[in-house]
A and B are shown apart, each in its own frame.
Chain A
Amino acid sequence: MTKNVCIEFKNVSKKYKDLLALNNVSFTIDKGEVFGYIGPNGAGKTTTIKILVGLITEFSGKAYIYGNDIQKDHKDLHKLIGYHPQEAGFQEWRTIDHAFKTFGRLSGLNSDYLENRTQEILKLIGLNDFRYKKIVHLSGGMVQKLRLGQALLHEPEILIMDEPLSGLDPQMRYQFKEIIKKLAKSGITILFSSHILSDVQDIAKTIGILNHGQIMKIGSPEELQTSFHIGNILEIVVEKNTPLCNNLEEISGVASIENFNNNRQLIHLNSDFNIDLIINNLLRKIVEQQCRIRSFKLLRPSLEEVYLKYVGGETT
């Protein structure tokens, strides 16, 4: 394990009676990295997260935080981790202030530090005016912010967020994303799950796609797009009213060609062939024909298409 690795899962499996929730899940997250964990509902995201924060203690395989075995050393790891749960509730009699006091003191914070930290957090999450309000009277979005707030109280090095954006309206979603971006900039390691790709793609540096308890693919958004060869399409645009390139289908690796508006061609490439070789051969042919090319580009699949490929087109 390199020094920079913060979280490591090694062949972790978890079974609930007959249901295999996680099947040999392995991944690593570096220190300071923002890791987006996506998959449809029931894929095993929450199980992974609960193992990481110590709420699920019975599983097979190994999970480490900074090289410490989660099952053996979890008591010492509590202080490093902040956990934003998906649906954890608060007792109805608590105000935000009281919740922060209780959780802060249980995390080992002294009164003076806790008071300063509470003010900082309330400012960050925008709940300053609601400090002494009972939690039952807050909106769903505010409670979601409160869940984030309690996770940050003890200044954790690692923030684990389970579906932090679910159930939020667009404005609240934007605010929440901005807070996460701000936290990411501060160098905190973040793992956050979602079943919506757009939630993670503009925040996460690395994305892990989980389906049926198995990691399907891990990589940066760009890596995921480039690794996904099926359906790669090349777009060629020529000067208007000039001939299109001919006989391109003769090149091995070209699956089919579609012509549009007399100046645009879509070349569907076969994923079994080397994409660079196909492009070289295509360029050679185009130069031979002296086509007046105005645009020549590879249309990468969208991240949404990559995601749907790996989760088998399942929608949530």
Chain B
Amino acid sequence: MSLKLLFLDELKGFAKSKVMIVLWIGMPLLSFLLQFIDQRALEGMSISLLISIVVSSIGGTLSGIMLSTTIVSERNRHIYELFLIRPVKRCNLLLAKFLAVYLCLVIAISLSLALGLIIDGLTDDLSELYLNSTIESFTIGISSMAITCSIGIFFGVLVSSVPVAAILSVYLGSQLSTLIILPTIFIEVLNPQLLAITLGITLTTIIMGINLFLFSRKQF
């Protein structure tokens, strides 16, 4: 019960603080602008594929920063105290934040990608090969975003300084999220999408488990 309430509360917070609007309008706008790139510079790459790569990497970085800095700042301002004195499970506070940020980003990326696909469709660039690589890139992108989100929460729980948390989550988040594509470079038989999903879920679950354990032992 408290997880649903907290999740909706987080979404409301994003909506009211305009973060959601920036994501949902800003990222598709970026996709739209990408179509003006000189087609020769793309070397045959479709707009949708380019968009999925660009917005996933921006989304991953953004989610890591957003989560780590928000958690550190809210901890420093004793915001969680008013939640934790109520019948709220500590783990639900973090889970609600994770789910809200992740959902917002997935929606933002999906909107961007949909726009890219429409542009490709209108310009007759949408071949099956491009479509497959776009979907693959999108899958890898949202899997890596899940990892960067959990890394962001990890530093949010552990670090007390907002800039330090931001730097660490950007650096380590991007390093760790590349792990999900690394094995396919060396082992060609591996399916990149399947590997990305499997590693994404596994790593995110492990890191989130550590986060919840650390947060439950925190003394406020």
List chain A positions with a Cβ less than 8 A from chain B.
Answer: 50, 53-58, 75, 78-79, 81, 83, 85, 87-94, 98, 102-103, 105-108, 150
- Structural contact, B84 and A106, CB atoms closer than 8 A: no
Decide if B77 touches A79 in the complex (CB within 8 Å). Answer: no
Q: Report how far A103 CA is from B5 CA in the complex, Å.
A: 10
Q: How far is the CA of A103 from the CA of B2 in the complex (A)?
A: 11
The B33-65 residues at the A interface (CB cut-off 8 A) are: none
Query: In the bound complex, do residue A106 and residue B219 qualify as a contact, i.e. CB atoms below 8 Å apart?
Result: no
B-chain residues with CB within 8 Å of residue A56 when the two chains form the complex: 219-220
* B residues in contact with A102, CB < 8 Å: 5, 9
**B5:A105 contact, CB within 8 angstroms:** yes
Residues of B within 8 A of A107 (CB): 86-87
B103 near A: Cβ within 8 Å? no
Q: Which residue of B lies closest to A14 (CB)?
A: B219
Q: A56-B220, A90-B82 are in contact. List 15 more A-B contacts (CB 8 A).
A: A50-B220, A53-B85, A54-B84, A54-B85, A55-B219, A57-B219, A81-B85, A83-B82, A89-B77, A102-B5, A103-B83, A106-B5, A106-B83, A106-B88, A150-B82
Total contacting residues, chain B, CB less than 8 A: 23
CB of B79 within 8 Å of the partner chain: yes
Closest CB of chain A to B17's CB: distance in Å?
A: 5
**Which residues of A have CB within 8 Å of B6?**
106
**A88 in contact with B78 (CB, 8 Å):** yes
Taking a contact as CB atoms closer than 8 A, the residue among A50, A55, A78, A90 that contacts B79 in the complex is A90
Which residues in B have their C-beta under 8 angstroms from that of A150? 82
8 A Cβ contacts from B117-175 to A? none
Cβ of A93 and Cβ of B16 under 8 Å apart? yes
Q: In whole Å, how far is A79's beta carbon from the nearest beta carbon of chain B? A: 7
B13 CB-CB contact with A under 8 Å: yes
CB–CB B87/A106 < 8 A: yes
Q: Which residue of chain A has the shortest Cβ distance to B82 in the bound complex?
A: A88
Distance A50 CA – B88 CA, assembled complex (angstroms):
16
Contact across chains for A91 and B81 when beta carbons are under 8 A apart: no
The CA of A111 and the CA of B174, in the complex, are separated in Å by 43
Most buried by A among B77, B82, B88: B82
Q: Are A88 and B87 in contact (CB under 8 A)?
A: no
A201 to B75 alpha-carbon distance, docked (Å): 34
A92 to B14, CA, bound (A): 11
Q: Please state if A78 and B81 are interface contacts (CB–CB under 8 Å).
A: no
Q: Closest CB of chain A to B144's CB: distance in Å?
A: 28
Q: Which residue of A lies closest to B86 (CB)?
A: A106
Could you tell me the distance in whole angstroms from the C-beta of A72 to the nearest C-beta in chain B? 15
A89 to chain B, nearest CB (A): 4
Contact in complex: B87, A75 (CB < 8 Å): yes
Question: How far is it, in angstroms, between the C-alpha of A88 and the C-alpha of B78 when the chains are bound?
Answer: 5
Query: Known interface pairs A56-B219, A58-B219. Does A93 touch B81 (Cβ–Cβ under 8 Å)?
Result: no
CA distance A230 to B135 in the complex (A): 84
B17 and A85 contacting across the interface, CB-CB below 8 Å:
no
A53-B220 Cα distance, complex, nearest whole Å: 11
Cβ–Cβ < 8 Å partners of A58 in chain B: 217, 219
A309 to B94, CA, bound (A): 47
Evaluate contact between B74 and A91: CB separation under 8 angstroms. Answer: yes
Q: Which of B5, B13, B85 contacts A83 (CB 8 A)?
A: B85
Please determine whether B86 and A91 come into contact, CB atoms closer than 8 angstroms.
no
Contact call B83/A55, Cβ cutoff below 8 A: no
Determine whether the beta carbon of A103 is less than 8 Å from that of B220: no
Q: What residues of A have a CB within 8 angstroms of the CB of B220 in the complex? A: 50, 55-56
Decide if B13 touches A78 in the complex (CB within 8 Å). no
* 29 CB < 8 A contacts A-B: A54-B84, A55-B81, A55-B219, A58-B217, A75-B87, A78-B85, A78-B86, A78-B87, A81-B85, A83-B85, A87-B78, A88-B78, A89-B78, A90-B79, A90-B82, A91-B17, A93-B13, A93-B16, A94-B13, A94-B16, A98-B12, A103-B83, A103-B86, A106-B2, A106-B5, A106-B86, A106-B87, A106-B88, A150-B82
Q: A88-B79, A93-B17 are in contact. Are A55 and B5 (CB under 8 A)?
A: no
Q: Complex Cα distance A79/B86, Å?
A: 7
